[in-house]
């Protein structure tokens, strides 16, 4: 398999590294938060907002600081169950830089796709291209052990999970595939694509009805796992539905914590599945 060295990877991401360095060294912003900000900007580029980071290179430090602040407001919005979003929700500086509307509504309407995309860029791209910068920053406050993951205060994150960042030699090889091993379709866990469905007692819902309902609203259902161990002559009261894509989750919920559907006179409530250990 073809590979690329860390040195080549740094050269390819020189602009991203320059902006990240300014955030955590020049502006002394929180390293964990800055990782998420960079991952969000990289995800925006992948979603059709080209060269957003390149446009920041020549901005003044106060402007870069303000842009990072707008990005953090998006991250906070994603993490809130009932965010307070102004009527238009526009991010003025980000919109001006992009010459294209960017709003909190856009992020929240695509909440789970955004969270999944940020996690993917953070764990597979940012974790590789910013290692030496993070080593410089966190090494001043905690002990760095060679070939051991860096301890980044703030991770594991309550919304975006954990990230493993291991210092490597500059000639260390990474396999090439997609975006240096990242592909938007292969870094989404099944849990990210799963909805939890509940039903009304006395109105039994079948797996076929679930598939029919959600296929008719235009989503691709991978599998439905009905409640098991149901007592004799009683109905399942819930199910887990795994969808083909995390975008289907946003399509069904459309920014709502719970969505209500009806088929054959029976109600089905859908919400994002959250694993409980």
pLDDT digits (tens, 9 = 90+) for 234-245: 899 999 999 998
Cα 6 to Cα 205: distance, rounded to the nearest angstrom: 53
pLDDT of residue 83: 80
| 54: its two tokens | 């390149």
Q: Which domains does the chain have, with CATH numbers?
A: 6-186 (no CATH), 190-272 (3.30.70.330)
For CA atoms 178, 180, 186, 191, the dihedral sign is negative
Cα(76)–Cα(252) distance, integer angstroms:
22
pLDDT of residue 241: 96
Q: How far is CA 183 from CA 36, 180, 207, in A?
A: 18, 9, 31
Can you tell me the mean pLDDT for 224-243? 91
List pLDDT tens digits, range 54-100.
Answer: 999 999 999 999 999 999 999 999 988 878 787 788 899 999 988 88
Q: What share of the chain has pLDDT > 70, as a percent?
A: 91
The reported pLDDT for the residue numbered 179 is 47
Q: pLDDT value at position 141? A: 55
The whole model's pTM is what?
0.84
Instruction: Give the residue from 179, 220, 138 showing the smallest Cα distance to 13.
Output: 179
Confidence grade of residue 1 (pLDDT, cut at 50, 70, 90): low
pLDDT digits (tens, 9 = 90+) for 14-40: 999 999 999 999 999 999 999 999 999
């Amino acid at each position: 398999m073809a590979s690329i060295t860390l040195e080549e990877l740094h050269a390819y991401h020189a602009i991203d590294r320059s902006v990240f360095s300014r955030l955590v060294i020049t502006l002394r912003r929180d390293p964990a938060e800055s990782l998420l900000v960079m991952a969000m900007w990289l995800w925006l580029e992948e979603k059709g907002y080209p060269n957003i980071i390149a446009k920041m290179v020549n901005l003044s430090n106060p402007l870069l600081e303000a842009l990072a602040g707008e990005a953090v407001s998006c991250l906070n919005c994603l993490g809130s169950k009932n965010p307070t979003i102004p009527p238009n929700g526009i991010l003025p500086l980000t919109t001006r830089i992009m010459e294209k509307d960017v709003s909190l509504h856009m992020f929240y309407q695509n909440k789970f796709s955004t969270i999944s995309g940020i996690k993917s860029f953070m764990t597979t791209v940012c974790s590789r291209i910013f290692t030496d910068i993070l080593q410089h920053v966190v090494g001043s406050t905690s002990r760095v052990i060679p070939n051991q993951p860096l301890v980044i205060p703030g991770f594991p994150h309550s919304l975006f999970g954990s990230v493993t960042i291991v210092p490597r030699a500059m000639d260390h090889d990474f396999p090439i595939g997609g975006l240096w091993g990242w592909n938007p379709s292969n870094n989404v866990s099944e849990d990210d694509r799963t909805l939890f469905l509940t039903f009304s007692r006395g109105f039994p819902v079948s797996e076929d009805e679930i598939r029919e309902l959600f296929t008719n609203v235009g989503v691709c259902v991978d599998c439905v796992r009905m409640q098991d161990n149901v007592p004799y002559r009683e109905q399942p009261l819930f199910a887990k539905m795994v969808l083909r894509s995390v975008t289907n989750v946003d399509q069904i919920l459309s920014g709502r914590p719970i969505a209500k559907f009806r088929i054959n006179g029976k109600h089905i409530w859908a919400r994002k599945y959250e694993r409980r250990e």
